[in-house]
Amino acid sequence: MPSQPHDAERRRLHAAFLEAVNIGDVDKVRQFLANPTIDINYAELGTGLTALHIAAGRNAAAVLRLLTGTGRCDLGTKDAQGRTAAVVAVTVGRNPAVGRYLADLQHGAGIAVTRQRRRPGEQTDSG
């Protein structure tokens, strides 16, 4: 018997994960991310939306930080309309700052890279 849940169970589990992202439930998202069967880059059938796309479109900053903090997000993944999460942040979430942050992460430039290189526990201007 395979170690991965069968397709229907996998879809159900990932749908619940994406719903937790959609409603901004940081604790549930954290629990899902601890589950090794969760694919952080799982895309909804039809829409192609990933957790990162959904969080970006909802301006769910805490969830975005949690997702990007794993280092496992494929920032270049495009949805069914050809949009990355950075584009969704600007066009749907109407948040150019988040869009820029995600684009910087995707391309390894700007403030996002500076923040990633910071040592754990190191203070920044914002705290």
DSSP track, 13-24? HHHHHHHHHHHT
Degrees to nearest 5, angle at CA 103 with 89 and 27: 55
Give the predicted TM-score (pTM) of the model: 0.82
Within 8 A by CB and 6+ apart from 104, the residues are 110, 111, 112, 113
Q: What is the CATH number of domain 7-116?
A: 1.25.40.20
Amino acid, single-letter form, for residue 93: G
Position 110 scores a pLDDT of 76
pLDDT in tens, 109-126: 876 665 555 444 444 443
Which parts of the chain register pLDDT below 70? 1-5, 111-127
The domain locations on the chain are 7-116
**Encoded tokens for 64:** 């975005």
Position 113 scores a pLDDT of 60
Within 8 A by CB and 6+ apart from 9, the residues are none
